[in-house]
Amino acid sequence: MIRVLIADDEPLIRAGIRMILTSADDIEVVAEAANGREAVELARRHRVDVALLDIRMPVLDGLSALAELGRAAPGVRVLILTTFGERENVLRALREGGAGFLLKDSAPGELIGAVRAAAGGDAYLSPAATRHVADSLADGAAAGRDTEARRRVAALGEREREVLALLGQGLSNADAGRRLHMSEATIKTYVSRILAKLGCENRVQAALLARDAGLEV
């Protein structure tokens, strides 16, 4: 079973997420928190696998909680729940090792898929969340950033670029393997190689780089 913590200061939001997640036979919601401080304490107490953290919470916000979890419970995979994507929040979450971004109005199946992907060691960026995050990063330096992204991606081999493009679309290792007719283990090997070549700390950073470079499959 995947042990999940939900952290959001709105009880109705927590109830809705709980109802969706508990409809899956491999997911168990073991704790709920109304603020980031509670989330950190409960994640450690209940041996949580995946934490869903809202960005905006009292006492300790979701991004601060993400940072604390990285120190106090590094095994917990964190998905950020958001309705917006301010640039500074996105960059901070990436630096702190967040496993992905999910919009609160995502479809139930997408929420369940994101939790499963995070628990399996994958980062998750839904197509909608990816577009949202990418839009939040757009500014006057966009052209320069895109040029830099293309330069970095040019160092990859053809198959590596194909795998990276699928990461940019938010696909899991298993889904990418099916698209490219490769095993999941082979995709994992490619992902590790891609992260090393691009100097990315996690799959989320690589996915955003793929979008900046305009990669498509």
Task: Please determine, for residue 24, whether its predicted confidence score (pLDDT) is greater than 60.
Answer: yes
Residue 116 is which amino acid?
Answer: R
If asked whether residues 6 and 78 sit together in one domain, one would say yes
Specify the pLDDT at position 140.
Answer: 40
Structure-token pair, residue 168: 């940019």
Nearest to 115 by CA among 184, 28, 189, 194: 28
> Where is the domain boundary, 98, 116, 136?
136
Do 16 and 72 lie in one domain? The reply is yes
**pLDDT score recorded for residue 141:** 42
Which among 121, 136, 151 is the end of a domain?
136
Predicted structure pTM score: 0.68
Whether the Cβ atoms of residue 49 and residue 4 lie closer than 8 Å to each other: yes
Predicted confidence at residue 148, as pLDDT, reads 83
Residue that has been written with the tokens 């493009």 in this structure: 165
Is residue 91 domain-shared with residue 177, that is, in the same domain?
no
Residues 21 and 39 in one domain: yes
Residues 131 and 149 in one domain: no
Residues 39 and 129 in one domain: yes
Could you tell me the pLDDT band of residue 85, with boundaries at 50, 70 and 90?
low
Q: What mean pLDDT value characterizes the chain?
A: 84
Total domains in the chain come to 2
- State the DSSP code for 79: E
Domain membership of residue 24 (yes or no) is yes
Q: Would 60 be classed as within a structural domain?
A: yes
What is the CATH classification number for the domain harbouring 48?
Answer: 3.40.50.2300
Q: Are residues 23 and 82 in the same domain?
A: yes
**Domain boundary, last residue among 136, 156, 182:** 136
Is residue 148 assigned to a domain?
A: yes
pLDDT of residue 149: 84
CA distance 2 to 115: 8
Nearest to residue 106, comparing CAs of 184, 189, 21?
A: 21
Provide the pLDDT for residue 101: 78
Two structure tokens written together for 65: 């909680």
Structure token pair of residue 20: 């969706």
Report how far residue 136's alpha carbon sits from residue 121's, in angstroms, rounded to the nearest whole number: 26
Of residues 131 and 82, more confidence is placed in 82
pLDDT of res. 155:
92
Residue 203 pLDDT > 50: yes
Same-domain status, 60 and 158: no
Clarify whether residues 96 and 185 are in a common domain. Answer: no
Residue 217 lies in a domain: no
Say which range, 35-44, 73-82, 118-127, 163-172, has the weakest mean pLDDT.
118-127
Q: Which domain holds residue 74?
A: 2-136
DSSP 3-state of 49: coil
Same domain, 129 and 203: no
pLDDT at 213: 85
84 falls within a domain: yes
Q: Are 124 and 202 within one domain?
A: no
Lowest mean pLDDT among 25-29, 68-72, 172-176, 201-205: 201-205
d(CA 179, CA 161): 14
Tell whether 67 and 131 lie within a shared domain: yes
